[in-house]
Chains A and B, each alone.
Chain A
Amino acid sequence: MKANAPSLVASFGQARNGPGLLFMLPAAAFLLCFLAYPLGVGTWLGFTDTRIGRAGVFIGLENYQSLWNDSVFWLSVFNTILYTVAASALKFALGLWLALILNENLPLKSFFRAIVLLPWVVPTVLSAIAFWWIYDSQFSVISWVLMRLGLIDAPINFLGDATNARASVIAANVWRGIPFVAISLLAGLQTIPPSLQEAASLDGATSWQRFRHVTLPMLSPIIAVVMTFSVLFTFTDFQLIYVLTKGGPVNATHLMATLSFQRGIPGGQLGEGAAIAVAMTPFLLAAILFSFFGLQRRRWQQGGAD
């Protein structure tokens, strides 16, 4: 034993990757503590009947079986998908549109670019509270303006009605998410050499054709990255909903993340909450797989540069 130890140390030091592994240790420890451990514990909790204040026992798939028959859970799945798809599509469309506008030679260009970033730098909770006021059933500024204009007679019940509430939280999420999409796509647009647009216009392309045949295909790698992130952020969104509706009315805006929190912490059913959170992983994995294929270098990007 004793003779072995120094030689082990020596061979470790001599191995080509020895020092490299050593340098990776802090990062690995960090990842283990703050990523792998919570993930592992969360997954484990999903298989137990832990409650707050009471350590649970392993109960196998029981949590998942009860979720399978739980209509509120399925409603939250539907809500999450609706929320993610609608908000991401809107963020993409509006973000691309904004990016295209900001890419033109506007006066005060940098000023507008800074303005667009605003929704993103405001803390989510703060903007959620602002939206809470905007959507207030009595003091909503939107209702007030529309009533002043004579378009409606009574204040809109933004957060009290299922459809309205869904539309409202989606709108708030879109407002918050647009800057990320717009600024990233703007960065992508600026990597497209202007001479390509010039060549296309000489080739007889209208501005729509230039967009369709030159801008969009060249932007597609960036679109894949940005939209993957946007989908992941939206799917796991929690703060906006929690401040605005807490999942109501009648669970109409409950997302999987908010339901998981509600069952787990205020409801005390840690095991069940964890199971809901774990149930999000197949969807997230699908998004990641999608991005993995979407992000693969396209054939035209391969091969040497100059």
Chain B
Amino acid sequence: MASVDIVDVRKSFGAVGIIKGVDVEIGDGEFVILVGPSGCGKSTLLRMIAGLENITSGEIRIGERVVNHLPPKDRDIAMVFQNYALYPHMTVADNMAFSLKLRGAGRDEIAGKLKPAAEILGLTHLLDRYPRQLSGGQRQRVAMGRAIVRDPQVFLFDEPLSNLDAKLRVSMRTEIKELHQRLKTTTVYVTHDQIEAMTMADKIVVMHDGMVEQIGAPLDLYDRPANVFVAGFIGSPAMNMLKGRINPSDAMRFVTEKGGVELPLAAPAPDSARDRDLIYGVRPEHFHQSAHGLPARVVVVEPTGSETQVVIEVGGEELVCVFRERIFARPGDGMSLEIVAAATHLFDAATGARLS
């Protein structure tokens, strides 16, 4: 087990900068999740930690040891590749046992490690098959198995559950979480799945275009996104964002640009926010039905069973709201809504940064 420190790491392929100065501190035993849009450099960063990609500048330390020039085989890292990278000429059992065999482990030791791992991953009946004879999800589980039979310093997972069906994904999520609680191995995990990120991470790193937008605990990111990008990226359905300015005569109210609708703020806007273009953010679940609220018009109603998602129109802008209760409104109906003022966000329109 070890901490991983990434200090001002940059990476360019030729002249193209892919990672543009990333700083992340990962504590010993922490479970860190990397999220970000496709192509933002998550896999590249992971590969740099593993030593598969050299670092253009900066420093990566694993447990206080600078590993910039350490070859992958000496880093004691297990990685699950986005494309599995199973050895096609080895059975599932051999794939999983390969690293143990290289280390010179005996038959008994290998069997002792293989069996529980295969059981956790539901691979016991597939141990004699070759990768070609497996489905995508089964291959992904073998790739997971190859990583967990080892006892590495660091686990790197690159979207390890992306090919599983919803049910298996939920149970694997729990398994990985339990595994982490048992082994306490430092883990860096890439995913596109919001729920995975929110439920599994000790710490989420939001990346965008080769840079870190924000690092923090899942709920911190959710409750206090540092900028418009994080606000829009974390949470599903995404946060509603409206352009506008502060009401010059009332610092507690925001006026939308399009319809001139007045919306409540969590706190009086700072003086610096006056007379500037701002972005007002409110999450879909922070709307209530109320007799004296904003007049809104229903556009679409989408019941999902446990909740109801309603698209409404307020002053020419469409907003998404989620209600715990059933809503029986029809498109075109009027609705009166109140916004939970304390849960609203304010960002600078020019820089995208949060204004507290």
Is the A/B pair a real complex?
yes
Q: Can you name the residue of chain A whose Cβ is closest to the Cβ of B52?
A: A198
Determine whether A213 belongs to the interface, using a CB cutoff of 8 Å to chain B.
Answer: yes
Are A200 and B50 neighbours in the complex by a CB distance under 8 Å?
no
Docked complex: A262-306 residues within 8 A CB-CB of B: 298-306
**Please, which residues of chain A bring their CB within 8 A of the CB of B89?**
217-218, 298, 300
**Please, which residues of chain A bring their CB within 8 A of the CB of B133?**
302-304
Q: Give the bracket for the number of chain A residues in contact with chain B.
A: 20 to 34
For the A-B complex, the count of residue pairs with Cβ-Cβ distances under 8 Å equals: 76
Of A203, A214, A304, which is in contact with the most chain B CB atoms at under 10 Å from its CB?
A: A203
Are A195 and B136 neighbours in the complex by a CB distance under 8 Å?
no
With beta carbons under 8 angstroms apart, the residue of A195, A209, A214, A303 that contacts B130 is A303
With beta carbons under 8 angstroms apart, the residue of B77, B88, B131 that contacts A202 is B77
Are A195 and B72 neighbours in the complex by a CB distance under 8 Å?
no
Of B76, B88, B99, B136, which is in contact with the most chain A CB atoms at under 10 Å from its CB?
A: B88
Determine whether A199 belongs to the interface, using a CB cutoff of 8 Å to chain B.
Answer: yes
Determine whether B90 belongs to the interface, using a CB cutoff of 8 Å to chain A.
Answer: yes
B77 to chain A, nearest CB (A): 6
Are B130 and A199 neighbours in the complex by a CB distance under 8 Å?
no
Determine whether B73 belongs to the interface, using a CB cutoff of 8 Å to chain A.
Answer: yes
Are B73 and A195 neighbours in the complex by a CB distance under 8 Å?
no
Are B50 and A202 neighbours in the complex by a CB distance under 8 Å?
yes
**Please, which residues of chain A bring their CB within 8 A of the CB of B98?**
200, 203, 205, 213
Q: Can you name the residue of chain A whose Cβ is closest to the Cβ of B71?
A: A201
**Please, which residues of chain A bring their CB within 8 A of the CB of B234?**
none
Are B103 and A300 neighbours in the complex by a CB distance under 8 Å?
no
Determine whether B212 belongs to the interface, using a CB cutoff of 8 Å to chain A.
Answer: no
Binds A, one of B79-87, B216-224, B323-331: B79-87
Chain B 127-169, CB-CB to A under 8 Å as 1, else 0, gives 0001111001000000000100010000000000000000000
B201 to chain A, nearest CB (A): 23
Are A196 and B85 neighbours in the complex by a CB distance under 8 Å?
yes
With beta carbons under 8 angstroms apart, the residue of B52, B79, B87, B132 that contacts A303 is B132
Docked complex: A191-215 residues within 8 A CB-CB of B: 193, 195-196, 198-206, 209, 213-214
Determine whether B78 belongs to the interface, using a CB cutoff of 8 Å to chain A.
Answer: yes
**Please, which residues of chain A bring their CB within 8 A of the CB of B79?**
199, 202
A63 to chain B, nearest CB (A): 48
A213 to chain B, nearest CB (A): 7
With beta carbons under 8 angstroms apart, the residue of A195, A205, A218, A305 that contacts B102 is A205
> Contacts A195-B85, A196-B87, A199-B85: A204 and B132 contacting too (C-beta < 8 A)?
no
Are A306 and B99 neighbours in the complex by a CB distance under 8 Å?
no
**Please, which residues of chain B bring their CB within 8 A of the CB of A214?**
87
Of A202, A205, A218, which is in contact with the most chain B CB atoms at under 10 Å from its CB?
A: A202
The 7 closest A-B pairs by CB, nearest first: A203-B99, A195-B85, A199-B85, A303-B133, A303-B132, A300-B130, A201-B72
Q: A206-B73, A218-B89 are in contact. List 18 more A-B contacts (CB 8 A).
A: A193-B85, A195-B81, A196-B87, A196-B88, A198-B81, A198-B85, A199-B86, A202-B50, A202-B77, A202-B78, A203-B98, A204-B76, A204-B99, A205-B102, A300-B89, A300-B132, A303-B132, A305-B132
